[in-house]
Structure 1
């Protein structure tokens, strides 16, 4: 049964416009822009479209073509990184030039082979010069195709997907992939392209800075009629955009701002988001769906409440959204990551939370999605929280993510087979990084044969079970130390580790956990014989 089919109404209040706006925040990160760049440029675009007299349907196309227009660029991050190194830095720099002619060529050459030894960079530069147009055209063709497909998958109107096929075309016909120009390009796209660039230069140079760039590209990148309409009323179009609550203002302009989703519609959109994220790295198509399905299956096997099954499924789908904020130059690096690079990787769950926390109705999903890299011994990231702070659902999602990551190839190692992944996951549990009970549930859900649950569940050692039984009897740390002939400090350390593994914070909770696991009373005694 589908994880959410039995929970009709569980997404009450979840609006499609908010989810699409959240996707735009992830797109911003991949463009090297601050979050809300696309939301702010959508406000510019819709204000401009109104002044040009576009009807409601065409304004809707402008709004969403702007919001998700660059969604396809993440699908070719692998190829872009292969050409220019840091794909995010390259995209950010493109806003500073008119993307044609010598300025654009100089920009591309400045990124080709960056960071490589001089001789290797020279070889790559020469090779790029010989094939530049064809290679860039192939990337842009991929972008446009991917943008249209992803737009359709997200349930946007057909007109949006059709318009996005021209997102790289120019008024002067020097764009790609088809080289069409003038009025052969939808007016909506002419508006979108201007708004996207104007927003970046508004932030760096104010209204005059935005106007200067727009005027300079009149009749080349931008349509003269669109530039003229923008120039006539630029102050009003750009008014207050750097001061207002952009999220609220942009959602107020969303064509379908009042449309709420039922459970099935919500999951379909979340699955589209998952697929969008997985395109970031070619080694992981279907990765997020696999994590979601596995986490939900494991939760059902542990007889978790149906609401928790749904939360785990949805968190599995979107847990990797923050990966778009990390360059493929880092994700695909074969050597050791630098301190700065590793810190960037450690931040991606935090970025996931930043993106999704804006969506009303996803709060419980966000709390799970941001903790999937945490470990019960505190060795995880981004916050390094320990077992006492991690719920059973947190631990289960972490195990499901870890299992699927082991099945993926990495620059430093090939993908493990199912047996190898299972053994590695068990080792992580034995080392106290992952919760043993969660690991067992994940492996069982993945189809592995697992032994009957050990009495020492939650990864407790035999000594820790002894300590837990004494805690349940109300013994103090000093009394535990005397009973086991160990130092009081050692007893205290054992107690703290037991609490962390069980996810509890006091003796009462520890006692109840011991009872639940059969570690005290007759069952617990029998288990040691």
Structure 2
């Protein structure tokens, strides 16, 4: 699609750290603080500079797989965000009925498998070192061999796993329970979650480190991150794909919004730089969605006032991301205006008229169009004519910009080839999966079960299962979330 469509891997990592913190119910600088603490802990424990860099990278990407299992946590705990916040804070009874009934291990294992596989795959896609990838693929293993996903004993687990786990515990538990409370809980986990010697170092140095960290400015912290070996270019679409993993029925949504916005901008005469900026804004406009639980997003009817207020804050959280990701500041500003309306009825700012720039007007129209044309748990996708009629009503009500809507509909109805298809030759796509496998993959990527796919495609569940197994084998993955992520990158869905 876009011109010079790459960003620094480091900026993608910062975006993913922000997304992960929101998804886990943490302050938006949790991963940044953990990264700093993990590096200090590694250095104090005698590790070299290379290992210190690895633990920083792992800290920033530790939660990158958490959008992929949000649906599972939502089904288990009701609130994927609040439930995981309680889990990390070790609040009594956080596991609910699964804990009471002795089902914790069986419940957590598949969720950990999804998380680890996806986060490791993200590191691979970003071009990070093998040590970082391996640590992320084992990020929930424990020193005593009781961790996930493979229950490896401590000697077989990368040291970065324990360094990051301990740094994260120190950051979270000291914030929730105070320094002494954190030291007590860390001591209880010593010898089980991480080596006892490592926990002693953390507890001895904790007061000084936390005081130093609290006094550190954001600029100084960014300078430390900018020194990390993640300066290579990467595709910005990976951020969009991770965002969309949170809700199975959102697969590919952010890419389609970005493509529609850029196409609309082309029709309006945007230059290459403006088109690229609008495209990137479309990719990341859903970052703030991570702050809202899946239970709210899956609500079939009218939202309660409290739930609606959380939804209205989605673009606020997207705007906050720009504070963490300096290189994408202009794009996040545009992205945060995706739900503003010309008459002032939008959110979160309630901006109106001239306060909404050309790029934001285009993005608002594109996001509305793609949402209407996409199926949701509570409704089927609208047809082209139906969606166009809705946009026409929005224009007449002076909520959407008429020029942007006209340009968008012109672009969307001229039979253009999707960007993913242009970037990957048809022959190459066809050689990877059979047409039937690609069809099955498309359905499962949107959250359909094997039985649902079987009914839709009029085949037996066993045949669907065979196709799914073949897709997993060809894509070298073992979970649907990882398959969806890889398929999006390869232009298969």
Give, in angstroms, the shift of residue 88 of structure 1: 0.4
Give, in angstroms, the shift of residue 15 of structure 1: 5.5
2:21 & 2:371 partners in 1: Cα distance? 26
2:323 & 2:200 partners in 1: Cα distance? 39
Instruction: State the partner residue of 2:472.
Output: none
Instruction: State the partner residue of 1:4.
Output: 3
Instruction: State the partner residue of 1:390.
Output: 356
Instruction: State the partner residue of 2:225.
Output: 254
> Which aligned pairs between 1:340-419 and structure 2 lie closer than 5 A?
340-419=306-385
Instruction: Assess if the C-alpha contact under 8 Å between 2:89 and 2:176 holds in 1.
Output: no
* Pairs aligned (count): 415
Q: Normalized against structure 1, the TM-score is what?
A: 0.74
For residue 36 of structure 1, the aligned residue among 29, 32, 35 is 29
2:183 & 2:133 partners in 1: Cα distance? 29
For residue 236 of structure 1, the aligned residue among 208, 228, 240 is 208
For residue 139 of structure 2, the aligned residue among 148, 155, 167 is 167
Is there any run of 5+ residues in structure 2 with no aligned partner, and where? 416-493
Instruction: State the partner residue of 1:154.
Output: 126
> Which aligned pairs between 1:129-208 and structure 2 lie closer than 5 A?
129=101, 132-208=104-180
Instruction: Assess if the C-alpha contact under 8 Å between 2:140 and 2:161 holds in 1.
Output: no
> Which aligned pairs between 1:469-484 and structure 2 lie closer than 5 A?
none
Give, in angstroms, the shift of residue 86 of structure 1: 0.7
Instruction: Assess if the C-alpha contact under 8 Å between 2:19 and 2:243 holds in 1.
Output: no
1:132 & 1:146 partners in 2: Cα distance? 21
Instruction: State the partner residue of 1:58.
Output: 51
2:327 & 2:52 partners in 1: Cα distance? 28
SS across alignment from 1:49: helix
Give, in angstroms, the shift of residue 384 of structure 1: 1.5
Q: Does residue 100 of structure 2 align to residue 107 of structure 1?
A: no
Q: Give CA deviations for 1:277-323 in whole Å, capped at 9, x if unaligned.
A: 01111111111111111111111111122221111111111111111
Q: Give CA deviations for 1:83-112 in whole Å, capped at 9, x if unaligned.
A: 2111000010012329xxxx6xx4211xx6
Instruction: Assess if the C-alpha contact under 8 Å between 2:15 and 2:239 holds in 1.
Output: no
SS across alignment from 2:368: helix
Instruction: Assess if the C-alpha contact under 8 Å between 2:38 and 2:164 holds in 1.
Output: yes
Q: Is the alpha carbon distance of 1:294 and 1:37 closer, same or farther for their aligned partners in structure 2, counting shifts above 3 Å?
A: same
1:175 & 1:72 partners in 2: Cα distance? 17
Q: Is the alpha carbon distance of 1:255 and 1:396 closer, same or farther for their aligned partners in structure 2, counting shifts above 3 Å?
A: closer
Instruction: Assess if the C-alpha contact under 8 Å between 2:9 and 2:126 holds in 1.
Output: no
Give, in angstroms, the shift of residue 170 of structure 1: 1.1
Instruction: Assess if the C-alpha contact under 8 Å between 1:214 and 1:222 holds in 2.
Output: no
Q: Is the alpha carbon distance of 1:56 and 1:234 closer, same or farther for their aligned partners in structure 2, counting shifts above 3 Å?
A: same
Instruction: State the partner residue of 1:320.
Output: 286
Q: Give CA deviations for 1:404-427 in whole Å, capped at 9, x if unaligned.
A: 111222343222233322222222
Give, in angstroms, the shift of residue 363 of structure 1: 3.2
For residue 410 of structure 2, the aligned residue among 431, 444, 447 is 444
1:135 & 1:205 partners in 2: Cα distance? 27
Q: Is the alpha carbon distance of 1:61 and 1:224 closer, same or farther for their aligned partners in structure 2, counting shifts above 3 Å?
A: same
How large is the Cα RMSD of the aligned pairs?
2.4
Instruction: Assess if the C-alpha contact under 8 Å between 2:140 and 2:149 holds in 1.
Output: yes
Instruction: State the partner residue of 2:465.
Output: none
| Structure 1, 232-241 or 339-348: larger mean CA deviation | 232-241
Give, in angstroms, the shift of residue 379 of structure 1: 1.5
Instruction: Assess if the C-alpha contact under 8 Å between 2:21 and 2:29 holds in 1.
Output: yes
Is there any run of 5+ residues in structure 1 with no aligned partner, and where? 113-124, 450-529
Instruction: State the partner residue of 2:267.
Output: 301
1:448 & 1:424 partners in 2: Cα distance? 19
Instruction: State the partner residue of 1:122.
Output: none
Instruction: Assess if the C-alpha contact under 8 Å between 1:349 and 1:371 holds in 2.
Output: yes
SS across alignment from 1:71: coil
1:422 & 1:131 partners in 2: Cα distance? 49
Give, in angstroms, the shift of residue 132 of structure 1: 4.6
Give, in angstroms, the shift of residue 388 of structure 1: 2.4
SS across alignment from 2:142: coil
Q: Does residue 194 of structure 2 align to residue 222 of structure 1?
A: yes
Question: Which structure has the larger Rg?
Answer: 1
Instruction: Assess if the C-alpha contact under 8 Å between 1:295 and 1:442 holds in 2.
Output: yes
| Structure 1, 344-353 or 403-412: larger mean CA deviation | 403-412
Q: Normalized against structure 2, the TM-score is what?
A: 0.79
Q: Is the alpha carbon distance of 1:148 and 1:187 closer, same or farther for their aligned partners in structure 2, counting shifts above 3 Å?
A: same
1:257 & 1:51 partners in 2: Cα distance? 19
1:258 & 1:160 partners in 2: Cα distance? 12
Instruction: State the partner residue of 2:82.
Output: 89
1:239 & 1:391 partners in 2: Cα distance? 42
Q: Give CA deviations for 1:134-175 in whole Å, capped at 9, x if unaligned.
A: 332111111111111112223322221111121111112222
SS across alignment from 1:283: helix
Give, in angstroms, the shift of residue 229 of structure 1: 2.4
Give, in angstroms, the shift of residue 16 of structure 1: 4.2
